[in-house]
Structure 1
Amino acid sequence: MNLSNPDPGLEYRRREEHLKMSEISIWLDGYDDIFSDFDPRPYSERVLSDDFLKEAQKVSDEKFPATHELNLLVPRAGRETKTEKIIRKRLKLYFRARLDLARKDLLRMRLKGLMLVGIAIVILTVATLVSLIEEKNLAAHMFLVLLEPAGWFTIWNGFDELFFAPAKKKPTLEFYRKMARCNIVFVSY
Protein backbone atom coordinates (compact mmCIF):
# COMPACT_ATOMS: atom_id res chain seq x y z
CA MET A 1 0.00 0.00 0.00
CA ASN A 2 1.34 3.41 -1.00
CA LEU A 3 0.93 5.76 1.98
CA SER A 4 2.22 8.84 0.17
CA ASN A 5 -0.69 8.76 -2.30
CA PRO A 6 -3.68 6.72 -1.08
CA ASP A 7 -5.67 7.43 -4.29
CA PRO A 8 -3.56 6.96 -7.44
CA GLY A 9 -6.47 8.20 -9.58
CA LEU A 10 -6.45 11.52 -7.72
CA GLU A 11 -3.13 12.56 -9.27
CA TYR A 12 -4.42 11.65 -12.74
CA ARG A 13 -7.64 13.65 -12.21
CA ARG A 14 -5.64 16.67 -10.99
CA ARG A 15 -3.38 16.50 -14.04
CA GLU A 16 -6.39 16.21 -16.38
CA GLU A 17 -8.09 19.15 -14.66
CA HIS A 18 -4.92 21.23 -15.04
CA LEU A 19 -4.75 20.37 -18.74
CA LYS A 20 -8.40 21.38 -19.22
CA MET A 21 -7.74 24.68 -17.47
CA SER A 22 -4.69 25.39 -19.65
CA GLU A 23 -6.25 24.93 -23.06
CA ILE A 24 -8.55 27.03 -25.19
CA SER A 25 -10.96 25.29 -27.52
CA ILE A 26 -12.83 27.09 -30.28
CA TRP A 27 -15.42 25.43 -32.49
CA LEU A 28 -15.11 26.34 -36.19
CA ASP A 29 -17.30 25.53 -39.18
CA GLY A 30 -14.20 25.77 -41.36
CA TYR A 31 -10.87 27.51 -41.72
CA ASP A 32 -12.56 30.66 -43.04
CA ASP A 33 -14.02 31.30 -39.56
CA ILE A 34 -10.53 32.32 -38.43
CA PHE A 35 -10.16 35.01 -41.07
CA SER A 36 -11.98 38.13 -42.23
CA ASP A 37 -14.70 37.55 -44.83
CA PHE A 38 -13.63 40.71 -46.64
CA ASP A 39 -10.03 39.64 -47.30
CA PRO A 40 -9.61 37.53 -50.46
CA ARG A 41 -5.88 36.88 -50.00
CA PRO A 42 -4.46 33.42 -49.23
CA TYR A 43 -4.45 32.13 -45.64
CA SER A 44 -0.79 33.04 -45.20
CA GLU A 45 -1.62 36.75 -45.60
CA ARG A 46 -5.24 37.17 -44.57
CA VAL A 47 -6.44 39.41 -41.78
CA LEU A 48 -7.83 37.57 -38.76
CA SER A 49 -11.53 37.83 -38.05
CA ASP A 50 -12.61 40.18 -35.27
CA ASP A 51 -15.12 37.56 -34.12
CA PHE A 52 -12.40 34.93 -33.85
CA LEU A 53 -10.10 37.26 -31.91
CA LYS A 54 -12.87 38.38 -29.52
CA GLU A 55 -13.90 34.79 -28.85
CA ALA A 56 -10.29 33.69 -28.33
CA GLN A 57 -9.73 36.56 -25.89
CA LYS A 58 -12.95 35.84 -24.02
CA VAL A 59 -12.10 32.16 -23.61
CA SER A 60 -8.46 32.97 -22.83
CA ASP A 61 -9.50 35.29 -19.99
CA GLU A 62 -11.36 32.39 -18.36
CA LYS A 63 -8.27 30.18 -18.50
CA PHE A 64 -6.17 31.67 -15.76
CA PRO A 65 -3.21 31.85 -15.29
CA ALA A 66 -1.71 30.25 -18.38
CA THR A 67 -2.80 28.92 -21.71
CA HIS A 68 -0.64 26.21 -23.19
CA GLU A 69 -2.78 25.09 -26.09
CA LEU A 70 -5.23 26.58 -28.58
CA ASN A 71 -7.47 23.82 -29.92
CA LEU A 72 -9.27 24.72 -33.13
CA LEU A 73 -12.07 22.21 -33.67
CA VAL A 74 -12.71 21.71 -37.39
CA PRO A 75 -15.06 19.27 -39.21
CA ARG A 76 -13.21 16.07 -40.05
CA ALA A 77 -14.31 16.20 -43.71
CA GLY A 78 -12.79 19.63 -44.33
CA ARG A 79 -9.35 19.14 -42.76
CA GLU A 80 -6.18 19.62 -44.79
CA THR A 81 -2.78 19.21 -43.13
CA LYS A 82 -1.01 21.56 -45.55
CA THR A 83 -3.59 24.32 -44.99
CA GLU A 84 -3.43 23.85 -41.21
CA LYS A 85 0.34 24.29 -41.27
CA ILE A 86 -0.05 27.60 -43.16
CA ILE A 87 -2.80 28.80 -40.79
CA ARG A 88 -0.81 27.79 -37.70
CA LYS A 89 2.18 29.80 -38.99
CA ARG A 90 -0.07 32.80 -39.80
CA LEU A 91 -1.61 32.75 -36.32
CA LYS A 92 1.79 32.53 -34.63
CA LEU A 93 3.15 35.43 -36.71
CA TYR A 94 0.06 37.52 -35.99
CA PHE A 95 0.13 36.97 -32.23
CA ARG A 96 3.89 37.58 -31.98
CA ALA A 97 3.60 40.78 -34.02
CA ARG A 98 0.70 42.01 -31.87
CA LEU A 99 2.64 41.18 -28.71
CA ASP A 100 5.60 43.20 -29.97
CA LEU A 101 3.31 46.14 -30.81
CA ALA A 102 1.64 45.98 -27.39
CA ARG A 103 5.03 45.94 -25.65
CA LYS A 104 6.25 48.91 -27.71
CA ASP A 105 3.03 50.80 -26.95
CA LEU A 106 3.48 50.13 -23.23
CA LEU A 107 7.09 51.32 -23.36
CA ARG A 108 6.05 54.44 -25.31
CA MET A 109 3.40 55.21 -22.67
CA ARG A 110 5.85 54.85 -19.81
CA LEU A 111 8.49 56.99 -21.52
CA LYS A 112 5.88 59.66 -22.19
CA GLY A 113 4.89 59.48 -18.52
CA LEU A 114 8.49 59.91 -17.38
CA MET A 115 8.95 62.83 -19.76
CA LEU A 116 5.79 64.54 -18.46
CA VAL A 117 6.84 64.04 -14.83
CA GLY A 118 10.28 65.49 -15.66
CA ILE A 119 8.72 68.52 -17.37
CA ALA A 120 6.36 68.98 -14.42
CA ILE A 121 9.25 68.95 -11.97
CA VAL A 122 10.99 71.67 -13.99
CA ILE A 123 7.77 73.75 -14.16
CA LEU A 124 7.14 73.41 -10.42
CA THR A 125 10.78 74.24 -9.64
CA VAL A 126 10.51 77.42 -11.72
CA ALA A 127 7.22 78.23 -9.94
CA THR A 128 8.96 77.78 -6.59
CA LEU A 129 11.80 80.09 -7.64
CA VAL A 130 9.30 82.71 -8.86
CA SER A 131 7.46 82.52 -5.52
CA LEU A 132 10.72 83.25 -3.69
CA ILE A 133 10.99 86.63 -5.38
CA GLU A 134 10.01 89.04 -2.66
CA GLU A 135 9.04 91.88 -4.91
CA LYS A 136 5.33 92.40 -5.39
CA ASN A 137 5.71 92.23 -9.12
CA LEU A 138 2.51 91.75 -11.16
CA ALA A 139 4.29 89.91 -13.99
CA ALA A 140 5.96 87.49 -11.56
CA HIS A 141 2.64 86.87 -9.82
CA MET A 142 0.85 86.19 -13.14
CA PHE A 143 3.67 83.88 -14.20
CA LEU A 144 3.31 81.97 -10.92
CA VAL A 145 -0.47 81.71 -11.40
CA LEU A 146 0.17 80.08 -14.80
CA LEU A 147 3.03 77.82 -13.71
CA GLU A 148 1.50 76.16 -10.66
CA PRO A 149 -1.61 74.66 -12.32
CA ALA A 150 0.42 73.75 -15.41
CA GLY A 151 2.94 71.92 -13.24
CA TRP A 152 0.33 69.98 -11.29
CA PHE A 153 -1.67 69.15 -14.41
CA THR A 154 1.46 67.88 -16.16
CA ILE A 155 2.64 65.80 -13.21
CA TRP A 156 -0.74 64.09 -12.82
CA ASN A 157 -0.89 63.35 -16.55
CA GLY A 158 2.61 61.92 -16.28
CA PHE A 159 1.60 59.67 -13.39
CA ASP A 160 -1.45 58.57 -15.37
CA GLU A 161 0.77 57.56 -18.32
CA LEU A 162 3.18 55.80 -15.97
CA PHE A 163 0.74 53.81 -13.85
CA PHE A 164 -2.93 53.87 -14.83
CA ALA A 165 -2.89 53.78 -18.64
CA PRO A 166 -0.54 50.74 -18.76
CA ALA A 167 -2.80 48.91 -16.31
CA LYS A 168 -5.69 49.32 -18.76
CA LYS A 169 -3.56 47.75 -21.52
CA LYS A 170 -2.49 44.78 -19.41
CA PRO A 171 -5.36 42.40 -20.39
CA THR A 172 -4.61 42.89 -24.09
CA LEU A 173 -0.89 42.39 -23.49
CA GLU A 174 -1.56 39.21 -21.49
CA PHE A 175 -3.85 37.85 -24.22
CA TYR A 176 -1.21 38.30 -26.91
CA ARG A 177 1.47 36.87 -24.61
CA LYS A 178 -0.64 33.75 -24.00
CA MET A 179 -1.47 33.33 -27.67
CA ALA A 180 2.12 33.87 -28.83
CA ARG A 181 3.35 31.15 -26.47
CA CYS A 182 0.60 28.58 -26.88
CA ASN A 183 0.67 25.51 -29.06
CA ILE A 184 -1.94 25.66 -31.86
CA VAL A 185 -3.64 22.33 -32.55
CA PHE A 186 -6.34 21.45 -35.05
CA VAL A 187 -8.76 18.81 -33.77
CA SER A 188 -11.45 16.96 -35.73
CA TYR A 189 -15.05 16.78 -34.63
Structure 2
Amino acid sequence: MAYLVAGFLAGLALWMWSGNPSARSAEADRTRPEAPPAGPRESPSLVLEMCATLLESGLPVRSVLEIVGGHVPGYAPLTRVSRALELNVDWERAWRQVPDAVRELEPSLRFTQLSGAPAAKLLRSAAASGRKREIREAEARGAEFGIKLVIPLGLCALPAFVCLGVVPIVISLLPDF
Protein backbone atom coordinates (compact mmCIF):
# COMPACT_ATOMS: atom_id res chain seq x y z
CA MET A 1 0.00 0.00 0.00
CA ALA A 2 2.89 2.31 0.78
CA TYR A 3 4.31 1.75 -2.72
CA LEU A 4 0.99 2.75 -4.25
CA VAL A 5 0.85 6.01 -2.25
CA ALA A 6 4.50 6.75 -3.04
CA GLY A 7 3.91 6.16 -6.75
CA PHE A 8 0.86 8.45 -6.71
CA LEU A 9 2.77 11.22 -4.93
CA ALA A 10 5.71 10.88 -7.34
CA GLY A 11 3.34 11.17 -10.32
CA LEU A 12 1.67 14.22 -8.77
CA ALA A 13 5.05 15.88 -8.16
CA LEU A 14 6.13 15.16 -11.74
CA TRP A 15 2.91 16.64 -13.09
CA MET A 16 3.27 19.78 -10.97
CA TRP A 17 6.94 20.14 -11.92
CA SER A 18 6.20 19.89 -15.66
CA GLY A 19 3.79 22.86 -15.51
CA ASN A 20 0.43 23.28 -17.16
CA PRO A 21 0.35 21.00 -20.23
CA SER A 22 -2.79 22.62 -21.63
CA ALA A 23 -1.09 26.03 -21.74
CA ARG A 24 1.85 24.55 -23.65
CA SER A 25 -0.41 22.85 -26.18
CA ALA A 26 -2.37 26.07 -26.72
CA GLU A 27 0.92 27.92 -27.33
CA ALA A 28 2.03 25.23 -29.78
CA ASP A 29 -1.30 25.48 -31.61
CA ARG A 30 -0.85 29.25 -32.05
CA THR A 31 2.59 28.84 -33.63
CA ARG A 32 1.60 26.00 -35.96
CA PRO A 33 0.54 27.20 -39.42
CA GLU A 34 -3.03 26.43 -40.38
CA ALA A 35 -3.26 23.85 -43.16
CA PRO A 36 -5.83 24.29 -45.92
CA PRO A 37 -8.71 21.81 -45.86
CA ALA A 38 -7.96 18.65 -47.81
CA GLY A 39 -11.51 18.11 -49.02
CA PRO A 40 -15.10 19.00 -48.34
CA ARG A 41 -15.80 19.66 -44.68
CA GLU A 42 -19.57 19.62 -45.05
CA SER A 43 -21.30 16.34 -45.68
CA PRO A 44 -22.71 15.84 -49.18
CA SER A 45 -26.13 15.26 -47.60
CA LEU A 46 -26.15 18.75 -46.11
CA VAL A 47 -25.00 20.27 -49.40
CA LEU A 48 -27.79 18.41 -51.25
CA GLU A 49 -30.29 19.89 -48.78
CA MET A 50 -28.85 23.34 -49.49
CA CYS A 51 -29.14 22.74 -53.22
CA ALA A 52 -32.76 21.58 -52.83
CA THR A 53 -33.62 24.71 -50.88
CA LEU A 54 -31.95 26.96 -53.46
CA LEU A 55 -33.73 25.16 -56.31
CA GLU A 56 -37.07 25.52 -54.52
CA SER A 57 -36.45 29.26 -54.35
CA GLY A 58 -36.40 29.31 -58.15
CA LEU A 59 -32.68 29.49 -58.92
CA PRO A 60 -31.26 27.62 -61.92
CA VAL A 61 -28.70 24.86 -61.39
CA ARG A 62 -25.83 27.10 -62.58
CA SER A 63 -26.62 29.67 -59.90
CA VAL A 64 -26.99 26.97 -57.26
CA LEU A 65 -23.56 25.58 -58.14
CA GLU A 66 -22.06 29.10 -58.06
CA ILE A 67 -23.57 29.85 -54.63
CA VAL A 68 -22.61 26.53 -53.07
CA GLY A 69 -19.12 26.64 -54.59
CA GLY A 70 -18.54 30.16 -53.38
CA HIS A 71 -19.89 29.81 -49.84
CA VAL A 72 -19.45 26.21 -48.67
CA PRO A 73 -15.87 25.34 -47.62
CA GLY A 74 -14.37 22.57 -49.72
CA TYR A 75 -16.82 22.89 -52.61
CA ALA A 76 -15.00 25.62 -54.58
CA PRO A 77 -14.67 23.40 -57.71
CA LEU A 78 -18.42 23.83 -58.19
CA THR A 79 -17.81 27.43 -59.29
CA ARG A 80 -15.72 26.10 -62.19
CA VAL A 81 -18.54 23.73 -63.11
CA SER A 82 -20.99 26.63 -63.02
CA ARG A 83 -18.78 28.74 -65.28
CA ALA A 84 -18.31 25.85 -67.67
CA LEU A 85 -22.08 25.34 -67.88
CA GLU A 86 -22.49 29.06 -68.48
CA LEU A 87 -20.19 28.69 -71.51
CA ASN A 88 -22.43 25.84 -72.79
CA VAL A 89 -19.91 23.11 -72.06
CA ASP A 90 -21.36 19.58 -71.98
CA TRP A 91 -22.50 18.39 -68.52
CA GLU A 92 -20.06 15.45 -68.32
CA ARG A 93 -17.15 17.55 -69.53
CA ALA A 94 -17.92 20.29 -66.99
CA TRP A 95 -17.77 17.76 -64.12
CA ARG A 96 -14.66 15.97 -65.39
CA GLN A 97 -12.05 17.90 -63.35
CA VAL A 98 -14.02 17.87 -60.07
CA PRO A 99 -12.59 15.86 -57.12
CA ASP A 100 -14.41 12.66 -56.16
CA ALA A 101 -15.67 14.04 -52.84
CA VAL A 102 -17.47 16.87 -54.65
CA ARG A 103 -18.52 14.64 -57.55
CA GLU A 104 -21.03 12.89 -55.24
CA LEU A 105 -23.42 15.77 -55.98
CA GLU A 106 -23.35 15.26 -59.74
CA PRO A 107 -25.86 12.39 -60.17
CA SER A 108 -28.47 14.15 -58.08
CA LEU A 109 -28.09 17.47 -59.88
CA ARG A 110 -27.90 15.89 -63.35
CA PHE A 111 -31.64 15.15 -63.48
CA THR A 112 -32.54 18.75 -62.71
CA GLN A 113 -30.12 20.18 -65.27
CA LEU A 114 -30.96 17.82 -68.11
CA SER A 115 -34.74 17.64 -67.65
CA GLY A 116 -35.54 21.06 -66.26
CA ALA A 117 -38.01 19.45 -63.88
CA PRO A 118 -38.17 20.59 -60.26
CA ALA A 119 -36.08 18.07 -58.37
CA ALA A 120 -36.06 19.37 -54.79
CA LYS A 121 -37.80 16.21 -53.58
CA LEU A 122 -35.28 14.07 -55.45
CA LEU A 123 -32.39 15.99 -53.89
CA ARG A 124 -33.91 15.69 -50.41
CA SER A 125 -34.38 11.95 -50.97
CA ALA A 126 -30.75 11.63 -52.06
CA ALA A 127 -29.72 13.61 -48.97
CA ALA A 128 -31.73 11.29 -46.71
CA SER A 129 -30.16 8.19 -48.27
CA GLY A 130 -26.72 9.81 -47.91
CA ARG A 131 -27.36 10.44 -44.21
CA LYS A 132 -28.43 6.83 -43.74
CA ARG A 133 -25.23 5.69 -45.48
CA GLU A 134 -23.14 7.96 -43.25
CA ILE A 135 -24.85 6.53 -40.15
CA ARG A 136 -24.15 2.96 -41.30
CA GLU A 137 -20.50 3.84 -41.94
CA ALA A 138 -20.20 5.44 -38.50
CA GLU A 139 -21.72 2.35 -36.87
CA ALA A 140 -19.27 0.13 -38.76
CA ARG A 141 -16.33 2.31 -37.61
CA GLY A 142 -17.64 2.08 -34.03
CA ALA A 143 -17.81 -1.71 -34.23
CA GLU A 144 -14.26 -1.83 -35.62
CA PHE A 145 -13.10 0.42 -32.79
CA GLY A 146 -14.50 -2.00 -30.21
CA ILE A 147 -12.63 -4.87 -31.81
CA LYS A 148 -9.38 -2.92 -32.09
CA LEU A 149 -9.63 -1.85 -28.45
CA VAL A 150 -9.71 -5.39 -27.01
CA ILE A 151 -5.99 -6.14 -27.36
CA PRO A 152 -4.65 -2.90 -25.79
CA LEU A 153 -7.12 -3.13 -22.94
CA GLY A 154 -6.21 -6.76 -22.38
CA LEU A 155 -2.51 -5.97 -22.39
CA CYS A 156 -3.00 -3.15 -19.87
CA ALA A 157 -5.75 -4.51 -17.63
CA LEU A 158 -4.67 -8.14 -17.32
CA PRO A 159 -1.25 -7.46 -15.74
CA ALA A 160 -2.85 -4.96 -13.37
CA PHE A 161 -5.47 -7.52 -12.37
CA VAL A 162 -2.81 -10.16 -11.78
CA CYS A 163 -0.60 -7.79 -9.77
CA LEU A 164 -3.36 -6.24 -7.67
CA GLY A 165 -5.82 -9.11 -7.45
CA VAL A 166 -4.17 -12.51 -7.82
CA VAL A 167 -0.69 -11.94 -6.35
CA PRO A 168 -1.92 -10.63 -2.95
CA ILE A 169 -4.29 -13.59 -2.59
CA VAL A 170 -1.53 -16.08 -3.46
CA ILE A 171 0.85 -14.39 -1.00
CA SER A 172 -1.77 -14.48 1.77
CA LEU A 173 -2.34 -18.22 1.17
CA LEU A 174 1.35 -19.09 1.39
CA PRO A 175 2.46 -20.46 4.74
CA ASP A 176 4.52 -18.19 6.96
CA PHE A 177 8.26 -18.70 6.49
Answer 1 or 2: which has greater helix percent: 2
Answer 1 or 2: which has greater strand percent: 1
- When normalised by structure 1's length, the TM-score is 0.28
Higher relative contact order (CA 8 A, sep 6+): 1
